Amino acid sequence: MSLAALGRRPATGTRRGVSRPQAARKRSGPPLPLRLLAFGLLIFLAARLATMAWESVQEQRARLFQEQEAESPFPMLPVLKGGQDGWADASLAGALVKAVAPSAGSISFYVKSLNTGASADMDADRVVPSASLFKVPILVEVLRQQSLGLFDMDTQVLLQQRHWAEGSGVLQAQIGKKFSVRELLNYMIGVSDNVAALALLDLVGTDSVNLTLQANGLEATRLRIGNPARDWGGQPGENTTTAREMGILLEKIATGKILDEKASEEAVRLLSQPQQASWLPALLPKGVQVAHKSGELPGVRHDAGVVYTPRGQFVVVVLNSGLSDYDAAAQSIARVARAAYDYFETGRGR
C-alpha cells in the first residue's frame, strides 16, 4: 500500500467520524416544525378543556338560578295609586347627611316618602355613570312594549355574539341559544346579567328606551349602548343617570305612572328578587321588603330602590363614584337607607 493510500484512510475515517454524530442528531427527535405543531395542538386542547369546564360551570349556574326562581316565588308588593308631590323635609335631610360614612369619593342621594311626599337629597342632580342601574330603564321599556302587544313574555330571543359582554351574569357561555323574554328579564335583574340586558335592549331598541325616559321628564338618564340611531349626547357607549332621576323613575314604577298596573306589578316583583349586591337592605330590619337594583364599576357603587315598611313606602337612591374605599360606599348606602327607615317609621315628617 502506498503512502498516498495510507494518507487517505484517516481522512475517510474522519468524515465517517463526523457523519455519525450528525446522523445521531437527526435520529434524536422529530423535526422542529413538527414539534412546534404538536406543542400548539397541546395548548389548543388545554384551552378547549378549560373553556368547556367554564361553560359547564356557567350552565350549572344558570340552571340553579332557574330552579331557585321557580321554587321561591317573590312576594307581590303593592302598586301605590297616585303618589304625593314632594316637599323638602329639613329634619330628614339632617338625619340622612349624618348617616353618610366618610369616603374617598363623591356621594349623592335622593329619598322621598311615597305616602307623604317628604323628601331630602344631596347633590342629587350630579350626572354619574349608571353602572347596572341602566337595566332599570330597559326593564321599563320591555314591559311597556310587552303590554302593547309588540311581543309576549314567551317570545324567544336568540343570544348573538354582539350580545356577549364581560362582567356580571351567567349567560356568557350561552351564545347561540334562545331564551324567553321572561327568562332574560329574570337574569337581567336577579343576577344583573349583562348578556341578557344587551339582548333585551336589542329587542326594544336604545332609542325607544331613551324616548320613554324623555317623555317622562328624565333628561340626564340616557343609554348610549346598543344601536342608537339618534345622537343622545354624552360619550358613545356611556350610560348616565342622577340620584334624583333614578328616584323619580322608581317612584313612577311603584305608583303606576309609567306602566299599566299589571306591568308595574311585574316590574316591582322583578326588582324584589334577591341580588348578589344588596347594600340597601343590609341594615334594614328582617322582613322589610326592598325592590331595588344595585350597580358597580371600578370606582362606582350604586343602589336604588323602593323600601316597603309597615307604615308606608319610600324611594331611596344612593350613588357613589370616584371611589377608593368600597367598604365606605357600601356603608353609606346601607346607613342612608336605615336612617330613612328610622325617620319614617317614627312618624316624623308624616
pLDDT of residue 89: 96
Q: Domain count for the chain, please give it.
A: 3
pLDDT of residue 233: 95
pLDDT of residue 105: 87
For every residue of 166-206, DSSP letters joined together read: -SS-S-GGGTT-EEEHHHHHHHHHHS--HHHHHHHHHHH-H
**Distance between CA atoms of residues 328 and 326, nearest Å:** 5
In a domain, 12, yes or no: no
- Final residue before a domain boundary, out of 194, 226, 241: 241
In a domain, 43, yes or no: yes
Task: Specify whether 135 is located in the same domain as 150.
Answer: yes
CB 63 within 8 A of CB 55: no
Report how far apart the first and last C-alpha atoms of the chain are (Å, whole number): 128
**Distance between CA atoms of residues 120 and 96, nearest Å:** 8
pLDDT of residue 53: 54
**Distance between CA atoms of residues 100 and 97, nearest Å:** 5
**Beta-bridge mates of residue 128:** 241
Residues written for the chain? 350
Spans of the chain below 50 pLDDT: 1-19, 23-24, 26, 57, 65, 68-74, 349-350
Task: Specify whether 134 is located in the same domain as 117.
Answer: no
In a domain, 14, yes or no: no
- Angle made by CA atoms 334, 249, 331, in degrees to the nearest 5: 10
pLDDT of residue 38: 79
Task: Specify whether 324 is located in the same domain as 233.
Answer: no
Kindly report the CATH number assigned to the domain that includes residue 277.
Answer: 3.30.450
Please give the backbone phi and psi of residue 200, each rounded to the nearest 5 degrees, phi first. Answer: -70, -35
Task: Specify whether 119 is located in the same domain as 146.
Answer: no
76 CB neighbour count, 10 Å cutoff: 11
Whether this prediction's pTM lies above 0.75 is answered by: yes
**Structural domain harbouring 39:** 31-72
Task: Specify whether 154 is located in the same domain as 142.
Answer: yes
pLDDT of residue 59: 54
In a domain, 329, yes or no: yes
Beta-strand ranges (E) seen in the chain are 87-88, 106-113, 118-122, 128-129, 156-158, 178-180, 240-241, 289-297, 300-308, 313-321
Task: Specify whether 237 is located in the same domain as 171.
Answer: yes
pLDDT of residue 79: 62
Report pLDDT digits (tens) over 267-309: 999 999 988 788 999 999 998 999 999 999 999 999 999 999 9
